[in-house]
Structure 1
Amino acid sequence: MTTVLGATRSHDDDGGSVTPGGPETGRRRGPRLPGDLVAALLGAGLVVAASLVGWADIHEGQKILVGWPPLLADWLPHFSPGGITAVLVALLVALAGPAVAARMRWGPLLGLAYVASAGWTLGLALIDGYQVGVINRLTTPTEYLVEVARFPGLGPFLETFAGRIVGMTPGTLVTHASGHPPLATIFYVWVADLFGPGGEPAGLATLLLGASAPVAVAVAVGSLGGLRARRGEFGLPTETVTAGRDVARRYLPFGVLFPGAVWVGVSADGMFAAVFAWGVAFLALGAVRRGVLGAVLCLLGGVVLGGALFLSYGLVTGGLVPIVVAILVRRWSPLIAGAVGAAVVVGLFAWGGFWWLDGYDQVQLRYYQVGEYGLLRPYDYWVWGNLAAFALTIGPAAFAGVRRLAWWPRRAPLAVVLLVGAVLVAVTAADVSGLSKAEVERIWLPFATWTVLACAMLPPRSARWWLLVQAAVAIAVNSLLLTTW
Structure 2
Amino acid sequence: MPTHPPAVRESIRGHRAAWIGLLLALILIAAAVAIPLVTGWDVATRASRSEDPNALAPLHGLWQPHLGVATAVAIIVAVLAWRYAPRLSKDLSWRALLAGAFLGSLVWMLSLALVDGPSGISRVLGNPYEYLETARGVTDVGALLQEYISRIPLDAQDNWVTHVAGHPPAMLLFFVGLVRIGLGSDFVAGLVVIVIAASLAPAVLVTLRALDIEVIARRAAPFLVFTPAAVFLAVSADAVIAVVGAWGVAALALASTARSRRVCIIWALVAGLLLGLLVEMSYGMPLFGVLAIAVLVAGKRWLALPIAAAAALAVVLVFSAAGFSLWEAFAVIRERYWDGIARRRPFGYWVWGNLAALAISAGPFVASGLAVMSAKVRKVSVPALLVGAGVLMIVLADLSGMSKAEVERIWLPFIPWLTISLAYLSPRWRSAALAGQLVWALVVQHLFYTVW
* DSSP 3-state at the match of 1:173: coil
Residue number among 254, 265, 285 corresponding to 1:285 in the alignment = 254
Contact 1:287–1:294 (CA<8 Å) still a contact in 2?
A: yes
2:37 matched to 1:55?
yes
2:9 matched to 1:42?
no
Q: Where does 1:194-205 land on structure 2 (aligned, <5 Å)?
A: 194-205=181-192
Residue number among 81, 103, 118 corresponding to 1:115 in the alignment = 103
> Residue 360 of structure 1 aligns with which residue?
330
2:215 matched to 1:246?
yes
Per-residue deviation, residues 206-237 of structure 1 (Å, max 9, x unmatched): 1111121111001001111x2xxxxxxxxxxx
- CA drift of 1:16 comes to 3.0
Identity in percent: 34
Contact 2:256–2:302 (CA<8 Å) still a contact in 1?
A: no
* DSSP 3-state at the match of 1:78: coil
- CA drift of 1:248 comes to 0.5
- CA drift of 1:323 comes to 0.6
- CA drift of 1:56 comes to 3.2
- CA drift of 1:302 comes to 1.0
Task: Could you tell me which runs of 5 or more consecutive residues in structure 1 were left unpaired when the two chains were aligned.
Answer: 1-5, 18-31, 227-243
In structure 2, the CA distance between the partners of 1:466 and 1:409, relative to structure 1 (3 Å rule), is same
Per-residue deviation, residues 135-170 of structure 1 (Å, max 9, x unmatched): 111111211012112213111011100110011211
Residue number among 389, 412, 426 corresponding to 1:422 in the alignment = 389
> Residue 126 of structure 1 aligns with which residue?
114
In structure 2, the CA distance between the partners of 1:13 and 1:41, relative to structure 1 (3 Å rule), is farther
Distance in 1 (alpha carbons) for counterparts of 2:77 and 2:189: 24
- Of residues 81-90 and 344-353 in structure 1, the stretch that sits farther from structure 2 once superposed is 81-90
Residue number among 440, 448, 452 corresponding to 1:481 in the alignment = 448
In structure 2, the CA distance between the partners of 1:92 and 1:163, relative to structure 1 (3 Å rule), is same
> Residue 399 of structure 1 aligns with which residue?
367
Distance in 1 (alpha carbons) for counterparts of 2:6 and 2:311: 52
* DSSP 3-state at the match of 2:116: coil
Residue number among 259, 268, 275 corresponding to 2:228 in the alignment = 259
- CA drift of 1:417 comes to 0.3
Contact 1:83–1:125 (CA<8 Å) still a contact in 2?
A: no
Contact 1:367–1:373 (CA<8 Å) still a contact in 2?
A: yes
Distance in 1 (alpha carbons) for counterparts of 2:132 and 2:438: 31
Q: Where does 1:441-480 land on structure 2 (aligned, <5 Å)?
A: 441-480=408-447
In structure 2, the CA distance between the partners of 1:83 and 1:106, relative to structure 1 (3 Å rule), is same
Contact 1:14–1:35 (CA<8 Å) still a contact in 2?
A: no
Task: Could you tell me which runs of 5 or more consecutive residues in structure 2 were left unpaired when the two chains were aligned.
Answer: 48-54
Contact 1:72–1:439 (CA<8 Å) still a contact in 2?
A: yes
Distance in 2 (alpha carbons) for counterparts of 1:445 and 1:16: 32
* DSSP 3-state at the match of 1:365: helix
2:145 matched to 1:147?
no
Q: Where does 1:304-343 land on structure 2 (aligned, <5 Å)?
A: 304-343=274-313
Question: How many residue pairs end up in the alignment?
Answer: 443
* DSSP 3-state at the match of 2:350: helix
TM-score, normalising length: structure 2: 0.94
* DSSP 3-state at the match of 2:449: strand
Per-residue deviation, residues 186-225 of structure 1 (Å, max 9, x unmatched): 000111122332211211111111121111001001111x
- Of residues 210-219 and 32-41 in structure 1, the stretch that sits farther from structure 2 once superposed is 32-41
Letter in 1 for 2:37: W
Residue number among 240, 255, 271 corresponding to 1:301 in the alignment = 271
Residue number among 220, 224, 238 corresponding to 2:207 in the alignment = 220
